Amino acid sequence: MAPKRSVRRRKPSPRAETPLNGQNGEPPTDSRRQGPTLPAELLRNIVEEVALSHWDSNARRRDLHNLLFVSRDFKNEAERLLFRDIRVISGKPAVKQISSALALHARARLVHFLRIDEYADLPGRRGRSFDHHFFSMPLHRMDCLRSLSIAQGMPWMPTNKLFGFLANAIPENTLIEFRTSTGLYEDASPFLSRQNMIKDIRVSFIGTSLTEALCLGMYCFSSDDASQFVQERPVSVLRLASLYGLPTYWNSFQTRLQVLDLSRSIYVYLHVSLWERIQLLRKSTDNESSDFPTALSVEGFVEALGALRDLAFLETLTVDNFGLSWPDAPHLPRIINAPQLKRIFVTQKSSSTLLTNSSITMKVGFVGNRIELEISVTSRCEMCIRRPMLSWLFLEVLNGNKGPVFIEVAGFVRTDEILNVQRPTLPPELLRLIVEEVASSHWDSNARRRELYNLLFVSRTFRDEAERLLFRNIQLTSETPVLSQFSNALKDRTRLVHSLRVDGYADLPGRRGRSSNSHLLSMPLHRMDCLRSLSINLAATWIPATQLFGFLKDVIQENTLVEFRASAEMDEDAFSFLNRQKMITHLQVPGFPPGLHHALLQSPPLLPRLQHLILFRFTNSESSSQFLSERPISILQLGTFHGLPGAWSSCAARLQVLDVSKFSFHIEAMSTGLIRDVVSTAINLRFFACFSLFCLNTEHAKFVQLVNTLGNLHGLALLETLTVKIGAPFIPPLDVLDFPGLINAPKLKRIFVTQNVIDGDETAVSRHELCYTEDGRWVCQVQQQDRDQWFSAQISRC
């Protein structure tokens, strides 16, 4: 047999344990068995709300990238939005990297929008491989691709080669929107014939036909073929960069239009929605070929606006004067005077603002009988990006048609963005439930802290809620960073702390070079107004109990604590501190020293609301018995049962929970006597963590007699939950299904059985939970939690 290899235990990293912890006493479960998460529909809405909270694409991608590291569920939804819109430009990563990212986990099916802008210089660089070529992108696997835009790029690629590649790569009848900076000639026919679902197309010139079109956007309208194309298809949205040739073909399709965009023409910048009929604006100049807006006079501009009064269904109008001196914005509604006009978006650029590279943007709206005006100033370079207000207007119009709408997100201009107002996010109540659900989905404290830490970088609203949970429960251990750094982090967050737990922290101040800021007594407890639970266990052994409790009495506000745990010995200073905390319902202390003055325990103001008491040792005295009888204690956990039966008769009848699992018996008579004392006094007991039964010999008969003493528990008429631990490493384990028949308590519903069994050369522990079903039978299942964790969870449900 080969000798066992000795493996040196790896020292944990100081950063492995952060000072932020979850609930005290939480059960660490298997990381592969996570709790229930948010519903898929709600999770999708959350991620979409995070994405929509930023109209800036860089900020949106940054938030979605942070969501990738929150949890697996958030990662799936964030990837769905990150890969839904892909834009390739010369300043972005190489196509090879994008293609590699799309190849993982079938992400190509997540792509809905693909935009290629100014990508001509990449393939021409020396040393570029074919993997960086546009043709290497996996378009053939983008089954959900709905919008394709190839604009201002790739002049090195012939149109016949481009459309030939698209015809072979893109699946049939998938595109709904197609945009290109080139014209559509005969070489595009094979590609277009395979895309019969296209409803929105934007090209510089069209010389072929499509089978169906709903929305047509062109930069030039100049040919007879294009006129016939518009006449024969249900075009309701028309965007034109030039008015040349438009009057010739206008009458054939003008009544069908709902949206007309002439904002890029050189005469009048106009957007009209929901028209029953559309009339061209009259022009006050005879020079139609003029390329300068200054050819329009102020009178002609006002006359052109006044002509809009005949549009009976005009609701939305955008106007850009580009250098003209025009009337004040509040006068525009009276000049136009259209009966259904609701919104006017105005961009004014005078000669002075052009010189300062700034622009004044105004929005005029009707509120009742009043006209409201909103004004903001943006730089000229920002206006070049934000100026397509039309996409925002198109979205409002097309949503009314309930058809598929694919609008260029980069062209959105929102009112709240123009006015520099942050868009409202999720309601605070829903946001709080979301973050708490993310935190509760992991019992492992490290995994929960990691997810909450990642939420800090998602958005400001998520950050506030994540900080609330991160700082709500704090744990200090020997590996915690120095307290000076931690105290600085708590500077403005002390009111978020609800629970403070100090475990194994005695060695930090003893290290050479530690400053006083690393001292436990330097923590800002005096500013923790919401502190409800304080636990100081196995720590601060170098701090005298008098100094510790004196410090706590001075810094912790009166009547704030609900739970207090301490491993330090109780003295007069400790009782003086407890006298100031009359709201405590949960107390854990080592015990009451025998030499303590009886008046301290018999003081009526001491812990008048105490319900849960944990003692590691009990002193049988008149003062201890009076202390138990005068407090409403219903949960009692003891480290020893010695001396208690003679002192607890006054409080035993009130007990609903009793935990005496910390000690054990191996003699039948002692076990029988103790169980009978419990049955005769604790008549209302519902939860009982029984003591352990140990048998270190191999006599099976004596072991069976020892286990049979549990049959005396049948006298507990209200008993619902029971834990039993049996240690007999040299005797085969018992059948756990025999325990319900042995105990036979009338209302018993759950039994947790722990047995020490032989597994090869080692002693292992088997844990089983027995549950009584509605059909009258007992079901057994293996448990991963230990006995204390399981029993604590059962108590919390009562």
Written in H, E and C, the secondary structure of 347-366 is EECCHHHHHCCEEEEEEEEE
Mean per-residue pLDDT, 289-304: 50
Q: Closest by alpha carbon to 751, among 778, 723, 774, 773?
A: 723
Q: Which of 388-402, 608-622, 721-735 has maximum average pLDDT?
A: 721-735
Task: Quickly state the pLDDT bin for 751 (edges 50, 70, 90).
Answer: very high
The model's confidence at residue 9, banded by pLDDT at 50, 70 and 90, is very low
Give the residue-averaged pLDDT of 695-721: 87
CA distance 259 to 235: 10
What average pLDDT does the segment 530-544 reach? Answer: 75
Residue 629, both tokens: 């009888």
Contact 658, 678 (CB under 8 A): yes
Helical H segments across 201-341, by residue range: 224-231, 246-249, 298-306, 332-336
Q: What is the mean pLDDT of the chain?
A: 69
- pLDDT of residue 560 exceeding 70: yes
Whether the per-residue pLDDT at 645 is higher than 70: the answer is: no
Asked whether the beta carbons of 771 and 743 are under 8 A apart, the reply is no
Tell me if residue 150 falls in helix, strand or coil: strand
Here the contacts of 287-296 (C-beta below 8 Å, separation 24 or greater) are 288/243, 290/266, 291/266, 292/266, 293/266, 293/267, 293/321, 293/322, 293/323, 293/324, 294/323, 294/324, 296/267, 296/268, 296/324
How high is the pLDDT of residue 347?
Answer: 64
Asked if residue 769 lies in contact with residue 748, where contact means CB atoms within 8 angstroms, the answer is: no
Of 590, 600, 588, 488, the residue nearest 534 (C-alpha): 588
- What is d(CA 187, CA 160) in angstroms, rounded to the nearest whole number? 5
Indicate if the pLDDT at residue 797 is higher than 80: no
Q: How far apart are CA 95 and CA 122, in angstroms?
A: 9
Residue 712: how many other CB atoms lie within 10 Å:
17
Q: Give the closest residue to 768 by CA, choosing from 730, 740, 728, 732.
A: 740
Distance CA 136, CA 213 (A): 30
* Helices 428-440/460-470 angle, 10° precision: 50
Higher pLDDT, 771 or 505: 771
- Whole-angstrom distance, CA of residue 663 vs CA of residue 492: 45
Q: Is the pLDDT of residue 551 over 80?
A: yes
pLDDT in tens, 584-629: 999 998 887 766 656 666 666 788 899 999 988 776 667 777 788 8
Separation of alpha carbons 131 and 102, rounded Å: 14
> In whole angstroms, how far apart are CA 372 and each of 4, 42, 362, 366, 654?
84, 37, 10, 6, 70
Least confident of 18-32, 212-226, 252-266: 18-32
Q: Helix, strand, or coil here: 696?
A: coil
366 pLDDT band, cuts 50/70/90, is: very low
Quick one: pLDDT at residue 664? 82
Q: Residue 661 and residue 669: Cα distance in Å, rounded?
A: 18
pLDDT at 351: 34
Cα gap 660→615, rounded to integer Å? 10
Mean pLDDT, residues 693-711 taken together: 84
Residue 542, pLDDT > 80, answer no
Of 271-285, 371-385, 433-447, which one has max mean pLDDT?
Answer: 433-447
- 723's enclosing H/E stretch is strand 721-727
Residues 608 and 559 sit within 8 Å (Cβ to Cβ): no
Decide: 194 and 167 in contact? Cβ < 8 Å.
yes
Task: Give the best-scoring range by mean pLDDT among 112-126, 204-218, 376-390, 428-442.
Answer: 428-442
pLDDT exceeds 70 at position 16: no
Q: For residue 100, is pLDDT > 80?
A: no
Q: What is the mean pLDDT of residues 81-90?
A: 77
Q: pLDDT tier at 299 (50, 70, 90 boundaries)?
A: low
Instruction: Write down the pLDDT at residue 398.
Output: 31
Res 498 pLDDT > 80: yes
What is the pLDDT at residue 189? 80
Helix (H) or strand (E) holding 754: strand 750-759
Who wins on pLDDT, 430 or 582?
582
**Span 141-197, pLDDT tens digits:** 888 898 888 875 555 567 778 888 888 888 888 888 888 877 777 778 888 888 888
pLDDT, position 583: 93
- Sort strands 586-589 and 563-566 into parallel, antiparallel or unpaired: parallel
Q: pLDDT category, 676, cuts 50, 70, 90?
A: confident
Question: For residue 465, what pLDDT is reported?
Answer: 84
Minimum mean pLDDT range among 149-158, 281-290, 461-470:
281-290
- Weakest-pLDDT range from 579-593, 641-655, 744-758: 641-655
**Token pair of 37 as six digits:** 């998460």
Task: Give the pLDDT confidence score for residue 195 in this predicted structure.
Answer: 84
What's the Rg (C-alpha) of the chain?
39
User: How do residues 215-250 score in pLDDT, each as one tens digit?
Assistant: 555 544 544 456 666 666 777 777 776 665 566 666
Looking at residue 696, what is its pLDDT? 76
* Residue 763 contacts residue 749 (beta carbons within 8 Å): no
